[in-house]
Amino acid sequence: MEYFHKPIMVNQVLNYLNIKKDGVYVDATLGGGGHFQEILNRVGEKGVVIGIDRDFDAIENAKKKFGGNRNVILIHDNYKNLKKILKELNIDAIDGILYDLGVSSYQLDKEDRGFSYRKDAPLDMRMDKSQTLTAKDVVNNLSKDELKRIIYEYGEERFAGRIANFIVERRKIKPIETTFELVEIIKDAIPAKARRKGPHPAKRTFQALRIFVNDELVGLEEAFEDAISLLKDGGRMVVISFHSLEDRIVKRLFNQFKKENDLPYKLQVLTPKPVVPDEIELKENPRARSAKLRAAEKFAVLK
């Protein structure tokens, strides 16, 4: 299966990145390379585009697509290690960085990855398959209280307590091993009236488990702060998020750097309100429905 991820809000991303010829840009969440390709098309032969992804499949796919370009650098790593990555590349500063957070279409559609509640697969959910912790480990080994916390905090699921209780009771009979087994447990836990309204009943729990397994929110603010420090004067940062927890972090951080601080630079927030996909894009790509884009530009503070 080809690693493909339909890029979201491409025109808006390119507009807010304000790509310069010969600039240095980072796609911190490479995925299927859709945004990466568009950035590469605009930097020219002397520009550099760095693609980072913790999913080895994404990097291997990108090597096939972009390996012939001398101005392309592909890194299998976590974007939270951006400072280390750029130091090893002898790059001191960048003109722009893009984060397209969350899970890719490829990861959702590839059954053996275990991200989707619509496909029966082993409970995995690892973005980086070299790590040991899986969703199966989480649901079978963590305490009821810890499961409740994860499902409530990361999934914002109001039935987190019932779902955690049902998981613990079911695993006493046999280990929970597949996505569909977990979906059935979640459906049993959520009252029938609540199941008939809103999104798929397993959506929030699966989101929560994915975030926990991949440590998505831990260190996210520090990672963004690192990226801001590495931007050149006039450099831009664009973040696409898919749930309120991520979006709140981005909004808070942008506003924090917008105000007075002790640093020699500040941010100008380019998106007072988050930018969302238009109806045309949503018809073509329903998975973009929860996407929110925020952007900011760094500028030096004259002391």
Single pTM value for the model = 0.88
235-245 confidence digits (pLDDT tens): 999 999 988 89
For residue 257, what pLDDT band results from cuts at 50, 70 and 90? very high
pLDDT for res 163: 98
Residues 288, 238 within the same domain: yes
> Of 181, 213, 245, at which residue does a domain stop?
213
Contact 23, 47 (CB under 8 A): yes
Residue 1: pLDDT band with limits 50, 70, 90: very low
Q: Are residues 88 and 231 in the same domain?
A: yes
Give the CA radius of gyration of the chain: 20
The mean predicted confidence, pLDDT, of the chain is 92
Q: Are residues 139 and 288 located together in one domain of the fold?
A: no
Based on the fold, state whether residues 87 and 14 are members of the same structural domain: yes
Out of 213, 241, 266, pick the residue that ends a domain. Answer: 213
Q: Are strands 48-53 and 231-241 parallel, antiparallel or unpaired?
A: unpaired
Q: Is residue 28 part of a domain?
A: yes
For the chain, the domain total comes to: 2
Residues 6 or more apart from 31 whose CB is under 8 A from it? 3, 5, 53, 55, 58, 100, 104, 106
pLDDT (0 to 100) of residue 114:
84
Which tens digit of pLDDT belongs to each residue from 165-181? 999 999 999 999 999 99
Q: What is the pLDDT of residue 34?
A: 92
For 73, the token pair is 């650098």
Nearest to 151 by CA among 90, 113, 84, 202: 202
Query: Has residue 80 been placed in a domain?
Result: yes
On whether both 73 and 221 belong to a single domain, the answer is yes
Domain of 202, in residue numbers: 128-213
Task: Residue 168: give its domain's CATH number.
Answer: 1.10.150.170
Query: Are 80 and 222 within 8 A, CB to CB?
Result: yes
Q: Is residue 236 domain-resident?
A: yes
Do 246 and 280 belong to one domain?
yes
Give 94's strand partners. Answer: 231
Element (H, E) at 209: helix 203-213
Sheet strands (E) in the chain: 24-27, 48-53, 72-76, 94-100, 231-241, 265-269, 292-300
Kindly state whether residues 201 and 222 are assigned to the same domain.
Answer: no
pLDDT at position 139: 98
Tell me the three state secondary structure of residue 58. Answer: helix
